[in-house]
Amino acid sequence: MTTEPGHAPPLLTVSDFSVVYDVEPPVAAVRDVSFELRRGEILGLAGESGCGKTTLAYGIQRLLRPPAVITSGSAVLHDEDGVDVDIARLDPEALRRFRWDRVSMVFQGAMNAHNPVMTIGRQLADVFTTHRPRMSRSERTRECAELLDLVGVGRERLRSYPHELSGGMRQRVMIAMALALKPQLMIMDEPTTALDVLVQREILQQISELRKRFGFSVIFITHDLPLLLEISDRIAVMREGRIVELDDAETIYRGARHEYTRTLLSSFPSLTGERGGFVRAHEGQASAQARPRPALAGGAR
Ligand SMILES: Nc1ncnc2c1ncn2[C@@H]1O[C@H](COP(=O)(O)OP(=O)(O)OP(=O)(O)O)[C@@H](O)[C@H]1O
Ligand SMILES: [Mg+2]
């Protein structure tokens, strides 16, 4: 579990994956995407709006519906017990179990997706009722309380309704739900975009700590490249359905190989602008420990 992500065996292998939206005219949303996700790593997936990030994430888990069509490729999860699971070959029941057990997802805009008339404790407990039907009621309550503590919401909120929580807390509850069954992979699609920078940072730190503790891998999707530089081990940059660059976060920060990635980076003033603290503070630090911390530059706000 504590193997350095850079040297860990892969958890997921995605090969030649393509998705087309069969509309008029057709949209080739994901084109021949191949990558390996290592066990325990945080892989950032960046790229401008519409480049295909969400489609890829849904496609890997077979969550897409028509008009989306997977036209090529495979996604194989190398299970902890040594079995390779080709996700496309799972029958609907196995796929349903697989999705929460092995792979969970925090959806784009999820923090507004809570059921408004159910306490968050009930909503969390539902995950266990559905997927761990033999779990006793008291065990369920204990698990839910522990999960809320784990994500920094606190068990005293079990009986709260979603509207009684801040956006940040609601998002943490979503993360708690995704963590509930201790998956091997969490896919997070813009999980913090709607939150202010301070809350965003706290949540990211928490995800990072939880990842170390439980050893799961994360695919973290956002168009916010500086944010990814801060939390990712490696970053994949998508453009028009393709991965145009995939490299260590450090390498991307130091000098992205691809012109497009450099353009994306330069579009964030916090990295290159007047304050410039980020760049100056990290000059000469080349080790993996000296991971860039853009959000800290000039003080978080
Ligand atoms: N149901 C659909 N029907 C037709 N085209 C779609 C559909 N859903 C997505 N698309 C198109 O597929 C492409 C990829 O969309 P996708 O939502 O995956 O991008 P994204 O990178 O997640 O964008 P964002 O950063 O805005 O979330 C876009 O051109 C989008 O317009
Ligand atoms: Mg998206």
Residue 208 lies inside a defined structural domain of this protein: no
List, for residues 164-180, the tens digit of each pLDDT value: 999 889 989 999 999 99
The pick from 17, 23, 27 for probing ligand 1's pocket by mutation, whose C-beta has the most ligand atoms within 8 angstroms, reads 27
- pLDDT score for 271: 57
Index of the ligand 1 atom closest to the CA of residue 51: 21
CB of 25 sitting under 6 A from ligand 1: no
Q: Which domain holds residue 68?
A: 7-102+217-268
Q: Is 301 exposed, middle or buried (0-12, 13-18, 19+ CB in 10 A)?
A: exposed
CA 27 – ligand 2 centroid, Å: 15
199: left (phi over 0), alpha (psi -120 to 50) or beta: alpha
List, for residues 167-226, the tens digit of each pLDDT value: 889 989 999 999 999 999 999 999 887 788 888 888 888 889 899 999 999 999 998 888
Residue 82 lies inside a defined structural domain of this protein: yes
Cβ contact 204:42 at 8 Å? no
CB of 28 sitting under 6 A from ligand 1: no
Q: Which ligand is nearest to the CA of 65?
A: 1
Residue 49 lies inside a defined structural domain of this protein: yes
Q: Which ligand is nearest to the CA of 105?
A: 2
DSSP assignment letter at 237: E
Residues 299, 28: Cα–Cα separation, whole Å? 41
Residue 167 lies inside a defined structural domain of this protein: no
Residues 118, 123: Cα–Cα separation, whole Å? 7
Residue 42 lies inside a defined structural domain of this protein: yes
Query: Could you give the angle at the alpha carbon of 215 between the alpha carbons of 213 and 218, nearest 5°?
Result: 115
Measured in residues, the chain has a length of: 301
CA 227 – ligand 1 centroid, Å: 22
- pLDDT score for 269: 64
- pLDDT score for 100: 86
Taking residue 49's Cβ as centre, other Cβ atoms within 10 Å add up to 7
pLDDT below 50 — which residues of the chain?
1-3, 272-301
CA 50 – ligand 1 centroid, Å: 5
Residue whose C-alpha is closest to residue 39's, from 195, 241, 184 = 184
- pLDDT score for 160: 97
Residue 198 lies inside a defined structural domain of this protein: no
Index of the ligand 1 atom closest to the CA of residue 57: 18
- CATH code of the domain containing 243: 3.40.50.300
225: phi then psi, degrees, rounded to nearest 5: -65, -40
239's enclosing H/E stretch is strand 234-239
The pick from 18, 31, 45, 51 for probing ligand 1's pocket by mutation, whose C-beta has the most ligand atoms within 8 angstroms, reads 51
- pLDDT score for 254: 86
Q: Identify any residues that bridge with 37 across adjacent strands, giving them in sequence order.
A: 12
Tally of domains in the chain? 1
- pLDDT score for 6: 53
Q: How far apart are the first and last CA of the chain?
A: 34
- Minimum CA distance residue for ligand 1 atom 14: 52
CA 28 – ligand 1 centroid, Å: 10
Q: Identify any residues that bridge with 238 across adjacent strands, giving them in sequence order.
A: 243
CA 74 – ligand 1 centroid, Å: 20
- pLDDT score for 286: 36
What is the CA 193 to chain-centroid distance, rounded? Answer: 12
Residue 163 lies inside a defined structural domain of this protein: no
- pLDDT score for 181: 93
- pLDDT score for 39: 93
Cβ contact 52:30 at 8 Å? yes
The pick from 20, 45, 53 for probing ligand 1's pocket by mutation, whose C-beta has the most ligand atoms within 8 angstroms, reads 53
Index of the ligand 1 atom closest to the CA of residue 108: 27
Residues 260, 224: Cα–Cα separation, whole Å? 14
Residues 46, 236: Cα–Cα separation, whole Å? 6
Residue 236 lies inside a defined structural domain of this protein: yes
pTM of full prediction above 0.95: no
